[in-house]
Amino acid sequence: MIQVILLIQLAVTPQRSREARELVHASMADYDTGHFEKALAEAEQAYRLDPLPEILFNIGQANRALGRWRTALFCFQRYLAKLATARNRPVVEALVAEAQRHLKDGEARLGAAQPAPRPLVVVASPPPAPWRRESAPPAAVTAPAAPPPTASHGHAAAWLLGSAALVSLAVMAIGIVQLESFERQVASLGQPAGFTSLASWNAAQSSATRRLPAAQDWEAAAFATGALALGTGTAAVLTW
């Protein structure tokens, strides 16, 4: 049905480029014979020459056949937005749901592949040796015990621990901000209708892919420095 729509649309608009019409026919032939990469390139070139909404559907189908679900979803949604009276709307809406399901499954598999945090191993100190009563006191004279640290030494240690806690809190805050920025960017990819072009969609997708390792590092740093801030802050209060 979609091929009939394309042929009728191109036939009744003689001002459209003859080259675009030839590219559309070539793209459909390559798609039918399984040459999806070539069909995609021809359809995209035809759309640049003559931006008909129906060609967006063909671009989406080629990306779907190649497993590029995010780009296929974008093209299907742009097709429905540009052609509100599309006769194949139920079919396209089913394709949109299919692409969203594949993207959701991919995100779930990516989350499952994240390494689990390493368990904290606590090494217990050895028990004290049993007390034994000496038969006689030692003959040597023991030196007097050292005086307890003054309050100024305790305050200095508390200041140092407090400063370490503040630095840790700052690193944790930066990590949280970076993680939230990445999550907002990923969330925006789930709303492809908000992008004005396929190029901006692809650019946002590439940016999110490049930022994924850094976001994971910032997440780990935020958790680690948060624990460090809690420990040093508690030690600072006790020392003071």
Contact yes or no for 172/222 (Cβ under 8 A): yes
Which of the two residues, 240 and 129, has the higher pLDDT score? 240
- Name which of 54, 76, 37, 232 is nearest 240 in CA terms: 232
Position 28: which residue type?
M
Question: What per-residue confidence (pLDDT) applies to 176?
Answer: 81
Which of the two residues, 144 and 166, has the higher pLDDT score? 166
Position 87: which residue type?
R
Q: Show Cβ contacts of residue 229 under 8 Å, excluding neighbours closer than 6 positions.
A: 165, 166, 168, 169, 172
Cβ atoms < 10 Å from Cβ of 36: 19
Question: What per-residue confidence (pLDDT) applies to 189?
Answer: 67
Q: Show Cβ contacts of residue 172 under 8 Å, excluding neighbours closer than 6 positions.
A: 221, 222, 225, 226, 229
Contact yes or no for 46/55 (Cβ under 8 A): yes
Q: Show Cβ contacts of residue 235 under 8 Å, excluding neighbours closer than 6 positions.
A: 161
Question: What per-residue confidence (pLDDT) applies to 47?
Answer: 94
Q: What homologous superfamily does CATH list for 2-111?
A: Tetratricopeptide repeat domain (1.25.40.10)
Q: Show Cβ contacts of residue 209 under 8 Å, excluding neighbours closer than 6 positions.
A: none
Q: Picking from 1-15, 42-56, 173-187, which range would have the lowest pLDDT averaged per residue?
A: 1-15
**Structure confidence by residue, pLDDT tens digits, 110-129:** 766 555 545 444 444 455 45
- Name which of 166, 183, 162 is nearest 236 in CA terms: 162
What is the residue extent of each domain of the chain?
A: 2-111, 151-239
Task: Reply yes or no on whether the pLDDT at 106 is more than 60.
Answer: yes
Task: Reply yes or no on whether the pLDDT at 20 is more than 80.
Answer: yes
Task: Write out the two tokens for 82.
Answer: 């540009």
- Name which of 80, 37, 36 is nearest 57 in CA terms: 80
199: buried, middle or exposed (CB in 10 Å: 19+, 13-18, 0-12)? exposed
Which of the two residues, 16 and 218, has the higher pLDDT score? 218
For residues 170 and 103, what is the distance between their CA atoms, to the nearest angstrom?
A: 35
Question: What per-residue confidence (pLDDT) applies to 224?
Answer: 84
Per-residue pLDDT band at 98 (split at 50, 70, 90): very high
Please state the rounded mean pLDDT for residues 192-217.
77
Please state the rounded mean pLDDT for residues 79-89.
94
For residues 102 and 80, what is the distance between their CA atoms, to the nearest angstrom?
A: 20
Please state the rounded mean pLDDT for residues 163-186.
78
Which of the two residues, 37 and 221, has the higher pLDDT score? 37
Task: Reply yes or no on whether the pLDDT at 2 is more than 50.
Answer: no
Q: What is the CA radius of gyration of the chain?
A: 33
What pTM does this model have?
Answer: 0.43
Q: State whether the Cα torsion 45-50-56-62 is positive or negative.
A: negative
